[in-house]
Amino acid sequence: MELKRAVITGIGAITPVGNTAPDYWNGLVHGVSGADFITLFDASKFKTRFACEVKGFDPVAYLDRKEARKVDRFTQLALVSSDEAIKDAGISKESVNPDRTGVIFSSGIGGLLTFQEEVMAYAKGDGTPRFNPFFIPKMILDIAAGHISMRHGFRGPNFAVVSACASSTHAIIEATNYIRLGKADIIVAGGSEAVICDAGVAGFNAMKALSERNDDPKTASRPFDKTRDGFVMGEGSGCVIVEELEHALKRGAKIYCEIAGGGATADAYHITAPHPDGLGALSVMRASLDDAGMKPEDIDYINVHGTSTPLGDIAETKAILGVFGDHSYNLNISSTKSMTGHLLGAAGVIEAIACIYAVINDMVPPTINHSTPDPELDPKLNFTFGKAQSKKIRAALSNTFGFGGHNASIIVKKYA
């Protein structure tokens, strides 16, 4: 069977460094840190008192007030990014076949804030179970995909993919496969996360996963730096419109780039730690190249998972050297999490968007906050420290890895 080609025809994003996709890219290119002290709740007693929050977000500026109250913050953000992407692609229920237009939208955790609020209210009460009737519909991870479909009348495939921090990359891979197999014309794909709350921060603190650099939050996310001490939590949402090429051409759509391929593997090693030799990361990058029918030398830029954890950054670097060999030294590598923080289930899609913009603009976003070289990392690798770099980018690869050993990687390339 000859597979159809999948292209990107729309982009949307709301992130800690920009509340639209173009603003997000502008923030990345200029090395803006989205980290600051937490304003969404009182974190004064927490080990970590900072995060990468979305700035100036008022849901009623985007949604009807009554509608906004019925959905968790992660769904609010999902609706904002998907609205932008759908508008950018120029599609509507009237302009496309709604039965062949689907939504695959992810989250790593879902409505944690809703869960926290409802359970805390119950615990403070007299034991009488008084729960909001929207408690369950606000909390469940698939609900963002459901709301997007209902908002726009899209009746095609509709579900959520859940694989922790690899979730939205898996969502894009699934969307691509539906398009390739001819099972849909268009898939709205992406992810959303909003867990900057007591339970979210305390839970990751208990795991010793978060940076505790409270004296200097803006530089706390420092991938590949010897002094890195954990990731910085972020929130936000990203969305891409994945469309079958001929369908896009027939309706005169703007084409950003092509999805060349994707891969999915498991570490089968540990619930939170990567394999020390990066075997899962190595296998997923090879799987992506195989799926795309590409050689290592065809890749010019890697947007790494690069969370700023002591173990993860080293393991991923070992994997890159294992896959790309001597070509590793020709690559640009960067971690945009140094600016956005880690958006967990939404990380994959916003980093895929960074790759899309990198390909169409021939520009590599930087890894910021680097000051002390790590002797365990190969000094000949180009981590794009400090400033964005101009470079001809034919294809870019994006890595995401999730707790449970889930690995996902996708490749985007110039459309031709």
Furthest C-alpha separation in the chain: 66
**Residues 13, 18, 19, CA angle at the centre, nearest 5°?**
55
The amino acid at 56: G
Q: In the chain, where does the domain assigned CATH 3.40.47.10 lie?
A: 6-250, 262-413
pLDDT at 300: 98
Dihedrals phi, psi of 192, to nearest 5 degrees: -150, 150
Superfamily of domain 262-413: Thiolase/Chalcone synthase (3.40.47.10)
Catalytic residue among 247, 305, 370, 406: 305
Q: Is 305 a catalytic residue?
A: yes
Q: Is 46 helix (H, G, I), strand (E, B) or coil?
A: coil
Q: Which of 147, 170, 275, 342 is catalytic?
A: 342
- Class level of CATH domain 6-250: alpha beta
Residues of the chain with pLDDT under 70: none
How far apart are alpha carbons 333 and 384 in whole angstroms? 6
Structure confidence at residue 1 (pLDDT): 79
pLDDT of residue 46: 98
Residue 355 among the catalytic residues: no
Angle formed by the axes of helices 310-324 and 279-292, to 10°? 40
- Asked if residue 316 lies in contact with residue 310, where contact means CB atoms within 8 angstroms, the answer is no
- DSSP string covering 312-328: HHHHHHHHHHHHHGGGG
pTM here? 0.97
Has 247 been annotated as catalytic? no
Active-site position among 52, 165, 239, 257: 165
